[in-house]
Amino acid sequence: MAAAAKVMAVASNSTAAASSCLLLKAPFALKRGSNALTFTTGRRLSKRLFSCNAIYNPQVQIKQEGQPETLDYRVFFEDSGKRVSPWHGIPLHLGDGVFNFIVEIPKESNAKMEVATDELYTPIKQDTKKGKLRYYPYNINWNYGLLPQTWEDPSLANSEVEGAFGDNDPVDLVEIGESRRKIGDILKVKPLAALAMIDEGELDWKIVAISLDDPRASLVNDVDDVEKHFPGTLTAIRDWFRDYKIPDGKPANKFGLGNKAANKDYALKVITETNESWAKLVKRSIPAGELSLG
């Protein structure tokens, strides 16, 4: 089949900026709250947030090759006519607690789209199983995708989440704003909470965030604000990801951290740690295996 190509600009309100290695101090201590796990100031931890050697251009374009819902369909990212990896080439951190988020699956859709971590330039494609395209059994109700320049290290056991090892993928993010976005959109988001999903023994973080251009973005700054202004959303997200494999005859997924959403500070801690793991990966301090670093 001849590949069909379509190019479009990825909208962003950000100005072009070179990314740099920024220092983020993040103190945490764990206590249990009534509605969520809360992390408050305790001993100081100094973590370095890496976002090196990447230039963020707000007019990054996406180029679609092939037809949607086919095995050949790919969504590539281009900057000044050159392909860049959405995983490695788009910076994570924009400053002031704001991060880039790349949409893989628009809300109210069910095609299981994901960055192809083992292909050159890591384009977005539809996931497959036994040669067949994968779909969720029902629509996902939020925009879903990845945080660039993060990686859940499969050799690293998380002592706070049942000793689970990372799932070898970028960190997932669930964006709860009202707009339905497009595949490949790059949004500026602020994290609000984190869910520690355990999928067949692997740790698969779900960061909950909102796009800065959402009308209610100014109202929500932490997990308790989500409960107030988006009542029931955190429970709905947890239950959706817990149950989506059941129709295929698989067991429900589990959640660590007391089966509750952790707060914003803990979400930032997860982002910082997985960004550090990504930096080690691309510097080849950790074996990449079949992962593409291009």
- Give pLDDT, residue 51: 38
- Residue 237 confidence (pLDDT) above 50: yes
Q: How confident is the model at residue 294 (pLDDT cuts 50, 70, 90)?
A: confident
* Catalytic residue list: 136
- Give pLDDT, residue 59: 77
Once rounded to an integer, what is the mean pLDDT over residues 20-47? 37
- Which structure tokens are listed for 139? 């629509």
Once rounded to an integer, what is the mean pLDDT over residues 96-108? 97
At 193-228, the pLDDT tens digits run 999 999 999 999 999 999 999 999 999 999 999 999
Task: Give CA–CA dist 114/126, Å, rounded.
Answer: 6
> Is 65 in a helix, a strand, or coil?
strand
Q: Please say whether the beta carbons of 13 and 213 come within 8 A.
A: yes
DSSP β-bridge partners for residue 32 = 37
> Is 114 in a helix, a strand, or coil?
strand
Once rounded to an integer, what is the mean pLDDT over residues 137-156? 98
Of residues 99, 292, 67, 77, the one with CA closest to residue 184: 77
> Looking at the domain covering 95-111+132-283, what would its CATH class be?
alpha beta
- Give pLDDT, residue 58: 57
Q: Give backbone dihedrals phi and psi of 54, rounded to 5 degrees, phi first.
A: -140, 140
Higher pLDDT, 289 or 29: 289
At 105-144, the pLDDT tens digits run 999 999 999 999 999 999 999 999 999 999 999 999 999 9
pTM of the model: 0.83
- Residue 25 confidence (pLDDT) above 80: no
Of residues 2, 290, 243, the one with CA closest to residue 118: 290
- Which structure tokens are listed for 100? 């880039």
Q: What is the DSSP letter of 216?
A: T
Task: Give CA–CA dist 121/189, Å, rounded.
Answer: 23
- Residue 33 confidence (pLDDT) above 80: no
Task: Give CA–CA dist 258/253, Å, rounded.
Answer: 14
Mean pLDDT computed over every residue of the chain: 86
Amino acid identity of 84? Answer: V
Q: Please say whether the beta carbons of 38 and 32 come within 8 A.
A: yes
- Give pLDDT, residue 5: 46
Q: Please say whether the beta carbons of 63 and 79 come within 8 A.
A: no
Query: 107-137 burial, b for 16+ CB within 10 Å, e for fewer?
Result: bebebbbbbbbebebbbbbbeeeeeeeeebe
Q: What is the DSSP letter of 34?
A: S
Once rounded to an integer, what is the mean pLDDT over residues 165-181? 98
Once rounded to an integer, what is the mean pLDDT over residues 257-275? 98
